[in-house]
Amino acid sequence: AQSVTQPDIHITVSEGASLELRCNYSYGATPYLFWYVQSPGQGLQLLLKYFSGDTLVQGIKGFEAEFKRSQSSFNLRKPSVHWSDAAEYFCAVGATGGFKTIFGAGTRLFVKA
Amino acid sequence: DTAVSQTPKYLVTQMGNDKSIKCEQNLGHDTMYWYKQDSKKFLKIMFSYNNKELIINETVPNRFSPKSPDKAHLNLHINSLELGDSAVYFCASSQGRGGQTEAFFGQGTRLTVV
């Protein structure tokens, strides 16, 4: 069965600074990987996804993530954070042929002025 | 046009009551889900339907009963509500197998049991 770990419960960065949110997954084959964002009082919205091919994936809102098989990681990055990026970020992993997507516990991002 | 809509957005009710949450998607997707998000933001799948067939039924008390009258609708009925049922419930949909495709989420229903 697949699993996903987000080691950081919360992270605080200054506006304009770079951001990296960590995600580690466990799955026997090549996983389907996702990053979602949840703004307060809202549902989850997909930022980006990785299925195969180029290991550096571009998403919406200036986010990107890099798949590293050797480290079982799929970290999310943004070069310059905006105050509107403050939200909860979820990494998720899905299985080939499966219906279930497993979500990490989430990382809450705080942005300070 | 809202892609995945849930009603109501807020639900406050007393212990022991029965309540329903409705979900509709207009994306033409064939798979729909119910997730529960607890106070620590942990998101756990409860049920999934594919073409009106129940395909995921996690360890959920049988007080929770999903119903899918058609591919575009998935409702959640909860009997004999308990304090521990307080959470945010999200409906979602996807095209095809959920583990391999993007899910579209509703705005959530915040259920408070008092």
User: pLDDT for A15-63, tens place per residue?
Assistant: 999 999 999 999 877 789 999 999 988 999 999 999 888 899 999 999 9
Closest CA to B101 of A89, A46, A25, A88: A46
pLDDT (tens digit, 9 = 90+) per residue, B30-85? 999 999 999 988 999 999 998 888 888 887 899 999 999 999 999 999 999 999 99
Averaged pLDDT, B18-22: 98
Supply the pLDDT for residue B51.
86
A85 DSSP 8-state letter: G
Chain B residues closer than 8 Å to A106 by CB: 41-43
Q: Tell me the three state secondary structure of residue B51.
A: coil
Peptide bond into A31 cis (omega under 30): no
Supply the pLDDT for residue B58.
86
Is A45 in contact with B105 (Cβ distance < 8 A)?
yes
Helix (H) or strand (E) holding A109: strand A107-112
pLDDT(B1) > 70 = no
| Chain B residue nearest residue A101, CA to CA | B99
Return mean pLDDT, chain B: 93
Tokens of B40: 């620590």
Residue with tokens 């995600």: A23
| Chain B residue nearest residue A39, CA to CA | B107
* A112 confidence band (pLDDT: 50, 70, 90): very high
